[in-house]
């Protein structure tokens, strides 16, 4: 039997399952992600009620009317025959497209038509001259229409100006169904990996998002959220799905445009700043939403996913990041991507990259050039953060260090006291508000645990690390009730002991 997976046709044996198809096709898919199974193209198009007619003067969108089944069924079964046909005539009242041969029967009656009605006409009362008539104004006429609904099967809902520009030198370039969410939902099957496939089934395993080239910061924000290849749906509605991973991370306004179906946006201000939205339906532009990019593959999956689902995402371009690589590793990585590499700072092979210029993927993809800043490995440490146990404090740490939006963060040492076996970093007061008690020490603070002072203390937001266990105070000098444990050092222990006041410490999460 023949099926499609991500719009690619393939043959499968009878009895094959969704899992069999994904494995055989090697389709992009990350374990645990949602998938969509559509019963088939014919079933899907059977639920469509909008069509885009592409002409040499631009596109026109029509929407089928209700209670005219004979007419709408005729259109659904025959619309492709009007492709490459010409505009036969235009008057002050109408535009005629066609013609084709049909098996419809004409009537001789005169009817009143409204502006933007779309009519099936059997010109000369002959089914060998079946035309589509677009009404440009309210008028009466005898069109030899079939005996249903005055021959009206649709109305013009988009591209009205394009319609008015047509003349008999124009032609129909293409006609395609407009796939809306409601059409997909009606044709989607409840499925899991063990679902047995049927002839004509279509499977969708991922979304492809293409960047808006004029929104490099917003696109990089999105790339950070999907760095593991997936996006979690924190909320879904008829209009959009939403992700809250970087809620609270402020970004400047970039490109503001109409939020079309498939648009990916970033909230740039307000209560939901930092949230990502992907739109299932068109919405007007608003100054609070940057256009990150657009879904270019997998809209059917977007239409069927639910709240708390995880979806596989690929992007165009893919993220370009050398940060946390060695200079030598950056050479090899960038060569594989066809990008010219210049080393800066410490240029030794084993120097660790802590910054790149340009910073953003979109800009690097344009220029095909990059400069990387290397630092000694001794300036670099590795940590693990307890996001589930201390979410507010981990957010704070990531925000002030830069780990929230980058692969490597940095902190400037405020106090380094070797005789007390501890190191401290100063609070950022603006960001430290609301650091409630979270994961508190149980009798002692262990060596290499990373701690943040909470709102039970005067100096909320200070960060500290002890190099040995202590059963009296946290590394910021606070009582255990004022100390949140947010993670631990996992590599670079000796590096920490060598840091002095004013030194920059570069950190990477394990």
Q: Are residues 256 and 340 in the same domain?
A: no
* Residue 219, in any domain of the structure: yes
Which position has the higher pLDDT, 45 or 430?
430
Q: Which of 177, 193, 217 is the last residue of a domain?
A: 177
pLDDT of residue 482: 95
* Residue 321, in any domain of the structure: no
Distances (CA, A) of 428 to 203, 453, 457: 49, 12, 15
Contacts of 290 (CB under 8 A, 6+ apart): 215, 218, 251, 253, 254, 255, 256, 265, 266, 268
Q: Are residues 71 and 173 in the same domain?
A: yes
Q: Is the pLDDT of residue 422 over 80?
A: yes
Q: Are residues 235 and 217 in the same domain?
A: yes
Owner of token pair 């002692």: 444
* Residue 433, in any domain of the structure: yes
Is the separation of the CB atoms in 175 and 79 below 8 Å? yes
Label residue 185 by pLDDT band (50, 70, 90). low
Q: Of 463, 307, 486, nearest to 384 (Cα)?
A: 486
Q: Are residues 385 and 497 in the same domain?
A: yes
Going along 187-233, which residue ranges are E strands? Answer: 188-189, 202-204, 206-211, 230-232
Q: Are residues 414 and 442 in the same domain?
A: yes
pLDDT of residue 165: 96
* Residue 269, in any domain of the structure: yes
Q: Of 480, 431, 430, nearest to 453 (Cα)?
A: 480
Q: What would the pLDDT profile of 471-487 be if each residue is shown by its tens digit?
A: 999 999 899 999 999 99
Label residue 41 by pLDDT band (50, 70, 90). low
List alpha helices for 157-215, DSSP H: 160-165, 181-187
CATH of the domain at 32: 3.10.20
Q: Is the pLDDT of residue 46 over 80?
A: no
Q: Are residues 171 and 288 in the same domain?
A: no
Distances (CA, A) of 261 to 175, 212, 296, 422, 470: 19, 15, 11, 54, 57
Q: What would the pLDDT profile of 272-296 be if each residue is shown by its tens digit?
A: 999 999 999 999 999 999 999 999 9
Residue range 109-136: average pLDDT? Answer: 97
Q: What would the pLDDT profile of 210-240 be if each residue is shown by its tens digit?
A: 999 999 999 999 999 999 999 999 999 989 9
Q: Are residues 241 and 310 in the same domain?
A: yes
Label residue 92 by pLDDT band (50, 70, 90). very high
Q: Is the pLDDT of residue 40 over 90?
A: no
Q: Are residues 274 and 221 in the same domain?
A: yes
pLDDT of residue 187: 64
How far is the C-alpha of 403 from the C-alpha of 220, rounded, in Å? Answer: 13
* Residue 230, in any domain of the structure: yes
CATH of the domain at 303: 2.40.100.10
Is the separation of the CB atoms in 474 and 439 below 8 Å? no
Q: Are residues 198 and 221 in the same domain?
A: no
* Residue 322, in any domain of the structure: no
Residue range 243-259: average pLDDT? Answer: 94
Q: Are residues 41 and 57 in the same domain?
A: no
**What domain count does the chain have?**
5
Which backbone phi and psi does 171 adopt, to 5 degrees?
A: -145, 170
Q: Is the pLDDT of residue 189 over 70?
A: no
Residue range 377-397: average pLDDT? Answer: 94
Q: Which of 293, 316, 339 is the last residue of a domain?
A: 316
Residue range 10-17: average pLDDT? Answer: 93
Q: Is the pLDDT of residue 44 over 70?
A: no
Average pLDDT of every residue of the chain = 93
Q: Are residues 437 and 360 in the same domain?
A: no
pLDDT of residue 137: 97
Q: Are residues 456 and 423 in the same domain?
A: yes
Structural domain for 311, as ranges: 206-316
Is the separation of the CB atoms in 210 and 263 below 8 Å? no
Label residue 190 by pLDDT band (50, 70, 90). low
Q: Which of 316, 345, 367 is the last residue of a domain?
A: 316
* Residue 125, in any domain of the structure: yes
């Amino acid at each position: 039997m023949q099926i499609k997976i991500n719009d690619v046709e393939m043959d499968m044996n009878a009895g094959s399952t969704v899992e069999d198809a994904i494995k055989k096709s090697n389709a992009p898919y990350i374990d645990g992600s949602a998938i969509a199974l559509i019963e088939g193209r014919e079933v899907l198009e059977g639920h469509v009620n909008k069509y885009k007619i592409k002409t040499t003067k631009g596109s026109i969108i029509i929407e089928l009317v209700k209670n005219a089944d004979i007419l709408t069924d005729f259109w659904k079964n025959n619309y492709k025959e009007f492709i490459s046909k010409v505009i036969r005539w235009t008057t002050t009242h109408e535009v005629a497209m066609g013609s084709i041969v049909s098996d419809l029967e004409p009537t001789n009656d005169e009817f009143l038509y409204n502006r933007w009605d779309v009519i099936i006409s059997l010109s000369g009362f002959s089914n060998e001259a079946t035309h589509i008539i677009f009404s440009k104004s309210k008028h009466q006429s005898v069109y030899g229409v079939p005996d249903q609904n005055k021959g009206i099967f649709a109305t013009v809902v988009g591209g009205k100006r394009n319609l008015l520009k047509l003349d008999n030198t124009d032609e129909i370039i293409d006609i395609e169904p407009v796939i809306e969410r409601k059409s997909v939902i009606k044709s989607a099957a409840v499925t899991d990996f063990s679902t047995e496939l049927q002839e004509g089934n279509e499977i969708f395993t991922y979304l492809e998002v293409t960047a808006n080239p004029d929104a490099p910061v917003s696109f990089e924000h999105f790339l950070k959220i999907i760095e593991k290849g997936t996006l979690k749906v924190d909320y879904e509605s008829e209009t959009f799905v939403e992700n809250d991973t970087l809620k609270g991370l402020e970004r400047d306004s970039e490109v503001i445009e109409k939020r079309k179906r498939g648009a990916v946006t970033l909230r740039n201000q307000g209560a939901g700043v930092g949230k990502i939205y992907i739109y299932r339906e068109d919405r007007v532009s608003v100054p609070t939403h940057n256009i990150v990019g657009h879904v270019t593959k997998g809209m059917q999956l977007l239409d069927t996913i639910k709240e708390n689902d995880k979806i596989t995402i690929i992007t165009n371009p893919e993220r370009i990041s050398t940060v946390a690589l060695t200079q030598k590793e950056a050479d090899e990585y960038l060569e594989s991507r066809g990008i010219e590499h210049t080393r800066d700072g410490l240029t030794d092979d084993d120097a660790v990259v802590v910054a790149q210029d340009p910073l953003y993927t979109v800009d690097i993809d344009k220029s095909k050039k990059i400069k990387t800043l290397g630092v000694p490995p001794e300036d670099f440490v590795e940590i693990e953060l307890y996001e589930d146990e201390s979410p507010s404090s981990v957010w704070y740490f990531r925000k002030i260090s830069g780990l929230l939006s980058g692969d490597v963060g940095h902190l400037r040492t405020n106090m380094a006291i070797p005789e007390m076996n501890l190191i401290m970093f100063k609070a950022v007061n603006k960001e430290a508000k609301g650091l409630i008690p979270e994961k508190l020490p149980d009798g002692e603070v262990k060596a290499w645990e990373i701690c943040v002072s909470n709102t039970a203390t005067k100096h909320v937001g200070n960060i500290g690390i002890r190099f040995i266990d202590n059963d009296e105070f946290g590394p910021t000098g606070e009582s255990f009730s004022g100390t949140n444990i947010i993670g631990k050092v996992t590599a670079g222990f000796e590096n920490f002991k060598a840091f002095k006041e004013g030194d920059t410490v570069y950190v990477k999460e394990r």
